[in-house]
Chains A and B, each alone.
Chain A
């Protein structure tokens, strides 16, 4: 579970600290940095896990505009079982290519890995130092560490690699699955390929997934990956009418709302219910009002049953009324323009719903 984020010098984040809980509703006005949080976490994942140096360039291009500072600092803390990992990445953006000034992983307060001035200092699983080696300082060294003999460090890297963020775009979601796709795109444009991977890697979750969809869609029976070529599959949805008549629809023929709802339950059953950390930016888009609360409650169940973590960015009253009193935090911009986190206090003297309080701008007194 992600327990702390520190960001300095990225968009509106200046000495920004955030300690998320297992359930978290992120509130805030437009431009308060809510979506930027997901963006930076996904960029860090690409840079530090996938070894994608273009992600580093993307990070460096998004320095805080009003600061004359070339150094960017990112810190993540995560609690995995009984262990606490702390990751720190310091980038120098002075030249045309970013340089890693410092990249460190601590486990329970003890240093497990460090990359400084182009030199990697790696400790094994017993915290015994290995021979330092040199590496290109324009990229993450964590991304290059071999799995063998580094179980503890790789555990953190795997966690970061499995941190997922979504901003669903049903218009981009088609039906073709040309291959199994282990990593979902942020907009889930590769949903069919990702689903193809999920049912192979975790078939046990499929029944619960279908059960959820059956309660949401009248007549829904199942999703099928229909073979149409050597490697090509087409994702279809099967429905059964009361008279026993079965109908099959190409996934792209479903409505935008149906596609989004299927995507949300897919995320819930195959990711959150596996104890992983997920951020979803405005999950309510395209979904009918009646479906939001059942999904949110199913998400709460998944978190409570499996230790997963869900950060939701939303302006929707349905989410605000259920989650804000206990799990709401607000991103606000201070006088300097920097984002900071405030708890959602509500108003002890008010009998208005949380959403109505926010709509009136009265949420914090």
Chain B
């Protein structure tokens, strides 16, 4: 991953935020990562959609002068990753902002069904993308760090994703190529 001067992370909840930060820590110093506020309750997904356009706009203004990146984390939930991307594209269009270009450092991290699906998958549990694994069990939080390490390993060039890897993870690896 190229080394941006600042990576801003807009996420639905603390687990998503932690996962991305744990991943970024392998490439960035603490001051290069900026976590946007978390929602104060209610739908995290709505919160991300609400702030998406303004964060992209701010990122673009800054990216013209400095190497910044913007990570957007939002669960696919019961829809598809493609549908979520389409929804985000529509938000930009509605805000009269140009669509995201193929090389723009705006990275969509879209776990399906949710971040917990990724955490279990990346730590060796066979999962599917339809079941809701969301859980308040604090032991799930302990999976974040090892999951982020595996995420980084699976994303290495020529790395072999094991058979229990899931499609939304593969799509995330494609997204991360924007930063190379």
Contact = CB atoms under 8 A, between A and B. Distances in A.
Partners in one complex: yes
Contacts, number: 63
Nearest to B51: A351
A145 interface: no
A346 B145 CA distance: 27
A84 interface: no
A321 B38 contact: yes
B31 A215 contact: yes
Given A322-B37, A355-B37, A349 B42 contact: yes
Contacts of A255: none
Interface in B39-70: 39-43, 46-47, 50-51
B38 A325 contact: yes
Given A297-B21, A325-B14, A326-B14, A350 B41 contact: yes
A353 interface: yes
Contacts of A351: 39, 42, 46-47, 50-51
Contact of A354 (B31, B40, B46): B40
B37 A348 contact: no
A154 interface: no
A324 B39 CA distance: 10
A297 B31 CA distance: 10
Interface residues of B, number: 22
B37 A350 contact: no
Interface in B1-23: 13-14, 21
Contacts of A205: none
Contacts of A304: 141, 145
Nearest to A317: B37
Given A215-B30, A294-B30, A297-B21, A347 B40 contact: yes
Nearest to A327: B14
A97 interface: no
B35 A350 contact: no
Q: Is the interface of A mostly helix, strand, loop or mixed?
A: helix
B95 to A, nearest CB: 15
Contacts of A216: 31
A92 B35 CA distance: 50
B130 interface: no
A16 interface: no
B37 A321 contact: yes
A290 B50 CA distance: 25
B39 A325 contact: yes
Interface string A185-197: 0000000000000
A216 B30 CA distance: 9
B35 A293 contact: yes
B31 A290 contact: yes
A345 B41 CA distance: 7
A139 to B, nearest CB: 40
A363 interface: yes
Contacts of A363: 40
B125 to A, nearest CB: 21
B35 A357 contact: no
A352 B40 contact: yes
A206 B58 CA distance: 39
A294 B31 contact: yes
B30 A347 contact: no
A228 B33 CA distance: 41
Interface of A: 212, 215-216, 290, 293-294, 297-298, 304, 321-322, 324-326, 345-357, 363
Given A348-B43, A353-B40, A354-B40, 18 more contacts: A293-B35, A294-B30, A297-B30, A297-B35, A304-B141, A321-B37, A324-B40, A326-B38, A346-B39, A347-B40, A348-B41, A349-B42, A351-B46, A351-B47, A353-B37, A354-B37, A354-B39, A357-B40
Which 7 A-B pairs have CB atoms at the shortest separation, nearest pair first?
A346-B41, A348-B42, A321-B37, A346-B40, A354-B40, A294-B30, A353-B37
18 contacts: A212-B30, A215-B30, A216-B31, A294-B31, A297-B35, A322-B38, A326-B14, A326-B38, A346-B40, A346-B42, A347-B42, A350-B40, A350-B41, A351-B39, A351-B42, A351-B50, A354-B37, A354-B39
